[in-house]
Amino acid sequence: MSTIRNKVQLIGNVGREPEIVNLESGKKLAKFSVATNENYKNGNGERVTDTQWHNIVAWGKTAELVEKYVNKGKEVGVEGKLTSRSWDDKDGTKRYITEVVCNELLLLGQK
């Protein structure tokens, strides 16, 4: 069971062009968002789409794949782990973010 701890799998559409950062160490970092949709009928029988947005971070070779092949609107499959971090913004306000650190990327769809 230890192999399925903190494992996330998502299939969705890229919400914005990936941000690519080349670090001084020579490593590459890619940041992008993925939207997942869930459809259901509400109490009145109306079809409702619930969209959730996920922050994705990819490093190294995976980031290079993102840079080459991923753009806004592309359907992708992402596998990785959830991480949370905090920082103080320029006004001193504590900010929090939860991200999926992508270790496997699957290119889907036609876009």
Domain membership flag for residue 2: no
| Residue 5 confidence (pLDDT) | 85
Instruction: Report the CATH number that the domain containing residue 78 is assigned in CATH.
Output: 2.40.50.140
Closest listed residue to residue 102, CA positions, set 36, 53, 30 = 30
Q: What angle do CA 98, 100, 102 make, to 5 degrees?
A: 160
Q: What pLDDT, on the 0 to 100 scale, is given for residue 1? A: 59
Neighbouring CB atoms inside 10 A of 105's CB total 20
Residue 4 lies in a domain: no
* Residue 94 counted as domain residue: yes
**Is 6 domain-assigned?**
no
Pairing state between β 28-41 and 47-59: antiparallel
- Nearest-angstrom CA–CA distance, 56 and 60: 14
Instruction: pLDDT tens for the chain, 111 residues: list them.
Output: 566 789 999 999 999 999 999 999 989 999 999 999 999 999 899 999 999 999 999 999 999 999 999 999 999 999 999 999 999 999 989 999 999 999 999 999 765
Contact criterion met (CB below 8 Å) for 56 and 70: no
- Number of structural domains in the chain: 1
- The residue range of the domain holding 61 is 14-38+50-107
